[in-house]
Structure 1
Amino acid sequence: MTAEAAELSNITLDDPVDEEIASYLDLASPRCFFLFAGAGSGKTRSLVKALNHVKATYGRDLSLHGYRVGVITYTNAACEEIKRRIDFSPLFYVATIHSFAWELIKGFHHDIREWLRESLVADIEELRVQEEKGRAGTKASITRLAQIESKSKRLDRLGEIKSFSYNPNGENREPNSLNHSEVIAICSAFIAQKPLMRWILVGRFPFLLIDESQDTNRHLVDALFVPAQEHSDRFALGLIGDVMQRIYADGKERIEDALPENWAKPSKKLNHRCPKRVVTLINKIRSEVDTHIQEPRSDAIEGHVRLFIRLSGAPDRKAVEDEIRARMAAVTDDASWGQIDNCKVLTLEHHMSAKRLGFENVFAPLYEIDSWRTGLLDGTLPATRFFTQSILPLIEASKRGDKFAVSRIVRQSSPLVTAPALKAAEDAGALLKQAQSGVDALMALWEEGDPVCGEVLRSVAEHQLFVIPDALLPVVEVLLAESAEAEEAAPEAEADDKAGDEADDPLTPEMGALLSMMNAPFAEIDIYRRYVSGLASFDTHQGVKGLEFERVMVIMDDSEACGFMFGYAKLLGEKAPTATDMKNMEEGKDTSIDRTRRLLYVTCSRAERSLAFVAYSENPEAVKANVISNGWFSEDEIDITK
């Protein structure tokens, strides 16, 4: 075989797998399957090929009977990518797991009401039992009592709700709204417990394919096994995924081991993304977990991998990481490593990225509110969206002297110059002057330096430049009151009395978080916007699954991590497993070492050209000895602090 033929043979290695999947999507004889698709294996390509096969073979029959093919993906971006590749064919229903679940249950308002009633009664009873066992007056007791009150009110209102609503991309705060976890729980329960729901599911979707199945809610996956077995003659469930890329706690552990015996288990072997050296590394990392081995493309570059071990006491992490990027530029003969915008730096947690990028004063207080995290991370939280989408564009346009853009933004968004306002005004020109005065006052804040968010918001409110969102109205009231008090220069005694009153009537956590954000420099707003838009050089380990970058730097730093879910020191051999880890190992449960290994696998497999690890350690020599012993790195690939 010639070298050219060998290369062609390697690149087409997985083509038979695509043909195998197509054979399972047969209306006359469907078969459920789990497709192992490791990092960079082209699973989206295989998914699209399968859908195109169904359309070409059964499209007419499916349409005549009102059937569609269901495709569940993990993110909205993945949905749009698949829709684009299948030319937005109406034969396919492509949705995130939450959207799909809501699509199934949204018409069953009576059943939803009864499920909620049972769930709320059970939750309230459990909380009351805990309260009886606990101590009154503690923070835990206060929290329990607040939860009992909130759930009791919701239970009392259930009878008044005629229909329920849900927005997969929103906060769902209305009295008749379901939250994200409830939609998944209700859908799972209905599929598992109601034969009618299973008939509806199968009657609408004879084929259902789930991408990233290892991270799909385990209760829903278990529920879907029921119609897969019950209607095996007319329904094919296809799961696509990789157990080593499970990074979310509610995913199904060891999903491959839970599959019924009659399921097909095709496997893709080729890695189209990573250099040969990176493929060797990720195979080593997963070798203690399973026997799946990937092959690099024969036309792949060799690539570079380096481990930099630095003392955890290093005071200036940024300087350390800048110096390491300079070293990588020399090692790889790639000057782009020297420019951080050309690299993707992966941290363990969002607050680590916020600290390094410089927007932690905006981010940290808001991230403390659990119910705000989704909106904060995708940029839809009303409090931050007002700054990023209304105020920031106006300021940027003003700074660059773009009067046309300033005028357009004001006309589109300011209540002062809406068509009804101008029509109703006795002097429309006065309103235009007022709007211009508001812009001038806002920009004047920068004459004395970089203002904080609170100063910017107060200026906007004082001049009625934009409509303040409901979430920020209480904040505006506080800011305006503080401004008035400062002008009046209240006596010290009165200030002391007020401080005492506030101690007796503490702020809600949400209000405290917003007021804390108001002290953040406004310059952090643009950095935050770039981060949540995926435009920043930093991201989290979890946030880049499915993405790829030429140059990747992975930060392994337990000292900056807030939780106990992950631990690089244990994975790298610096620290011994805890008693809890040992107990979980014996019981076959997930450990922090397992979770960290999977996270490391995900981060490594993002790299298209070169990969740098930065491990902050109290015992660099122990880490070096361990990774060499494991065969992860050779000695000449390790740069260690002496």
Structure 2
Amino acid sequence: MTDEFYLAETKLSETDNSIDSDIQGCLSSSSGKSFITFAGAGSGKTYSLKKALDFLKEKYADSFSRHGKQVAVITFTNNAADEIMNRIEQNPVFMVSTIHSFCWAAIAGFNEDIRKWYLEVIPTELSELKYMEKRGRAGKASEARKRRIIRLNEKMEWLNEPRSFIYDPNGVNTSQNSLSHADVLKIFSSFLTKKPMMEEVIVNKFPFIFIDESQDTNTDVINSFFNLQSIKSNKVVVGLFGDTMQRIFSGGEAELGKTKPKGWEIFDKKMNHRSAVRIVGLGNQIRSEDDGRTQFALAGALEGFVRYFILPIGLPDKDKIEAEIRGRMAEITGDSNWTDTTSKETAILLLEHKMAGRRLGFVELWDALSRSDKIKDRISEGTNPELNFFSEIVFPLAEASLNENRATLMSILRARKSPLLEVSVLDSNKNDPLQPARIAEQAFKEIVSNNDVNFADVLNVIAEYKLLIIPEKLKSFITLEDVDKDLENELQAEDEGDTEDDELSAWTEALETNFFQIRNYKNYVEDNSIFRTHQGVKGNEFDRVMVVMDDQEAGGFLFSYEQYFGAKELSRSSQQKKDSGEETGLDRTRRLFYVTSTRAKMSLVHVIYTSDVAKVRENLIERKFARQDEIVEI
């Protein structure tokens, strides 16, 4: 059997070196040469970005410092920003920030312009909602529309007077003057496109603007930069770095790279410096059904391993099955580290966070909180302030108390400004200033010594003894006499008025679950386990990767491996979208399959739970994703 479809062609590591030189040829503020660099998995995208930044620092650092100019480096996530900062020397010539932070910094202070923007866009949204309400049926959707109409009318009235606006990156502040993530991007894009003054401000401050992970960057923002470059091509160079096949998030520009902006240079990095020859070959075969871009593996790279285990859905004890598969992979590859569940070089990729919750032991907490859309994304990112109160403060305090580590315990109380360490409390107990703290800690220790204790009981003992300052939203759950009734009533009113995004209902249920789930949740969000999600692993690499595909357990609707591998037919609406050239779940799933398959350096195993084992097997072989001997029976 020919290896043409299975093993990538190999080339020397310096094959792409000329691209970095070509990028540097664009890096003159008057060159008029903006560019897009397409960099597939393992091709060294961040390396090329760093080389460009090093070049600019050497060429312009002194001049920019004198004239108050900077090179803007815009990333998609905080983690990406941190990675870039770690790779470049700290230098004021660079401003590295997320897209939301960059956009907010540009529009902050333009309060009157923001007010007028809202006054222009809200009436349009109101008209659409009223039209939908007129045509729609009664029910939850109708009630949600009515509440939205009321709130928008209230905001229009609030906007009748001059206002100032704020932006809360954590999304906690919901006051009228607080801008959402989405609105920050929309306002920036509108200002940059329609206000010449904003154009001048941006190009005078940032002669060079680099956008990392450009395929996931908001479509409106990308198009506003295209527009800026076309108007100010003699004053600004915009550089995009990314890969359309690794577009995971819904707001990204789907057409990026399919049409070349006028006057832009296109660079295509073709080397994969990360993966074995077989894994690069699989990535190429997946892409052959999309944009057709191919990569070369590194000359001298080993062949590597790709295996598939196809199993019927609904099997019990999946943990045991997956452990057995890792044992089989250890035998197949001769790599005993496949069975080491603590290895940082092994990753098990799951489609949804709740799948990790079941395997790691925080599924009850996850299920309760994820019922609120407002909470769900933040808990998966580890940014929900109320949950972080338990994971970052209460749980370490519990560990210190149980281990009788007094130094750590007092350090936490001091760092978190415990009410028991306030001057007034210490002065009122002059004979023994720390007596209230000891009494509180003893009561806390008794509670957390019970392995079955729930969050609510832990929260109540903290409140009763005033051990810690409790987040405002959690105060409404305290069962003490001195709870802030005004706050409780306010939150209950919010609960009654917004059943679609019911934070209080979610927390009510979550607080009744076992407290020590927080340990497992904390390990997961801090990447201290081998479990990751398919989406969250983009940009990472591991020696060994197991991808678990289980549509039934995931319970999602954006991706469908069952349809992608031919076990299920496309729905009528999906087929219509496909026929009309619109994006479908198949497209999203293909990109996810590519991302997960190309994280592995040496060995990769796909575990597919399906309703039709025979069809999936046939599909994998027919599409040349798998050789016959790569599908393993268990």
What TM-score, normalized by structure 2, do the two folds share?
A: 0.92
Q: Structure 1 residues 187 and 504 mapped into 2: Cα distance closer, same or farther (>3 Å)?
A: closer
The counterpart of 2:618, out of the listed 608, 618, 625, is 625
Distance 1:447 1:28 in 2: 67
What pairs up with 1:488-637 in 2 under 5 angstroms? Answer: 509-637=502-630
Distance 1:384 1:466 in 2: 15
Shift of residue 31, structure 1, vs aligned partner: 0.2
Q: Percent identity?
A: 38
Shift of residue 587, structure 1, vs aligned partner: 1.7
Matched, 1:145 2:138: no
Shift of residue 269, structure 1, vs aligned partner: 0.9
Distance 2:50 2:354 in 1: 36
SS of residue in 2 equivalent to 1:280: helix
Distance 2:501 2:10 in 1: 63
Structure 1 unaligned segments of length 5 or more: list them: 1-6, 482-501
Aligned residue number for residue 403 of structure 2:
400
Task: Give yes or no for contact 1:422–1:428 (8 Å, CA) kept in 2.
Answer: no
Aligned residue number for residue 363 of structure 1:
366
Aligned residue number for residue 163 of structure 1:
164
SS of residue in 1 equivalent to 2:32: coil
Distance 2:496 2:99 in 1: 44
What pairs up with 1:102-251 in 2 under 5 angstroms? Answer: 102-136=104-138, 138-160=139-161, 162-251=163-252
Residue correspondences, number? 613
Q: Structure 1 residues 317 and 30 mapped into 2: Cα distance closer, same or farther (>3 Å)?
A: same
Mean Cα deviation higher: 528-537 or 103-112: 528-537
Distance 2:571 2:245 in 1: 22
Task: Give yes or no for contact 1:542–1:599 (8 Å, CA) kept in 2.
Answer: yes
SS of residue in 1 equivalent to 2:528: coil
Q: Structure 1 residues 464 and 583 mapped into 2: Cα distance closer, same or farther (>3 Å)?
A: same
What pairs up with 1:285-434 in 2 under 5 angstroms? Answer: 285-342=286-343, 343-413=346-416, 415-427=418-430, 429=432, 432-434=434-436
Equivalent position amino acid for 1:265 in 2: I
Distance 1:12 1:604 in 2: 24
Shift of residue 618, structure 1, vs aligned partner: 1.6
Distance 2:389 2:443 in 1: 18
SS of residue in 2 equivalent to 1:639: coil
Equivalent position amino acid for 1:73 in 2: T
Distance 2:605 2:499 in 1: 47
Mean Cα deviation higher: 354-363 or 574-583: 574-583
Shift of residue 556, structure 1, vs aligned partner: 0.8
Shift of residue 300, structure 1, vs aligned partner: 2.7
Task: Give yes or no for contact 1:415–1:421 (8 Å, CA) kept in 2.
Answer: no
Q: Structure 1 residues 529 and 159 mapped into 2: Cα distance closer, same or farther (>3 Å)?
A: farther
SS of residue in 1 equivalent to 2:602: strand
Distance 2:632 2:431 in 1: 69
Task: Give yes or no for contact 2:381–2:525 (8 Å, CA) kept in 1.
Answer: yes
Which structure carries more helix by proportion? 1
Task: Give yes or no for contact 2:34–2:237 (8 Å, CA) kept in 1.
Answer: yes
SS of residue in 2 equivalent to 1:551: strand
Shift of residue 629, structure 1, vs aligned partner: 1.3
Aligned residue number for residue 468 of structure 1:
470
Distance 2:417 2:50 in 1: 45
Q: Structure 1 residues 228 and 540 mapped into 2: Cα distance closer, same or farther (>3 Å)?
A: same
Distance 1:263 1:54 in 2: 19
Q: Structure 1 residues 358 and 161 mapped into 2: Cα distance closer, same or farther (>3 Å)?
A: farther
Equivalent position amino acid for 1:347 in 2: L
Equivalent position amino acid for 1:378 in 2: E
Task: Give yes or no for contact 2:207–2:236 (8 Å, CA) kept in 1.
Answer: yes
SS of residue in 2 equivalent to 1:475: coil
Matched, 1:25 2:18: no
Mean Cα deviation higher: 26-35 or 370-379: 370-379
Structure 2 unaligned segments of length 5 or more: list them: 1-8, 484-494
SS of residue in 1 equivalent to 2:25: helix
Aligned residue number for residue 489 of structure 2:
none
Distance 1:323 1:8 in 2: 34
Aligned residue number for residue 257 of structure 1:
258
Cα deviation digits, residues 206-252 of structure 1 (max 9, x gap): 21111111100011111111111111222221111111000111101
Distance 2:546 2:481 in 1: 42
Aligned residue number for residue 87 of structure 1:
89
Q: Structure 1 residues 480 and 109 mapped into 2: Cα distance closer, same or farther (>3 Å)?
A: closer
SS of residue in 2 equivalent to 1:305: strand
Shift of residue 140, structure 1, vs aligned partner: 2.1
Distance 2:480 2:537 in 1: 39
Shift of residue 543, structure 1, vs aligned partner: 0.7
What TM-score, normalized by structure 1, do the two folds share?
A: 0.91
Equivalent position amino acid for 1:337 in 2: W
Superposition RMSD in Å = 2.4
Q: Structure 1 residues 380 and 288 mapped into 2: Cα distance closer, same or farther (>3 Å)?
A: closer
Q: Structure 1 residues 53 and 504 mapped into 2: Cα distance closer, same or farther (>3 Å)?
A: closer
Aligned residue number for residue 74 of structure 1:
76
Task: Give yes or no for contact 1:83–1:89 (8 Å, CA) kept in 2.
Answer: no
Aligned residue number for residue 50 of structure 2:
48
Q: Structure 1 residues 166 and 428 mapped into 2: Cα distance closer, same or farther (>3 Å)?
A: farther
Q: Structure 1 residues 504 and 372 mapped into 2: Cα distance closer, same or farther (>3 Å)?
A: closer
Cα deviation digits, residues 129-175 of structure 1 (max 9, x gap): 32233345x22222122212222222222245532111334423343
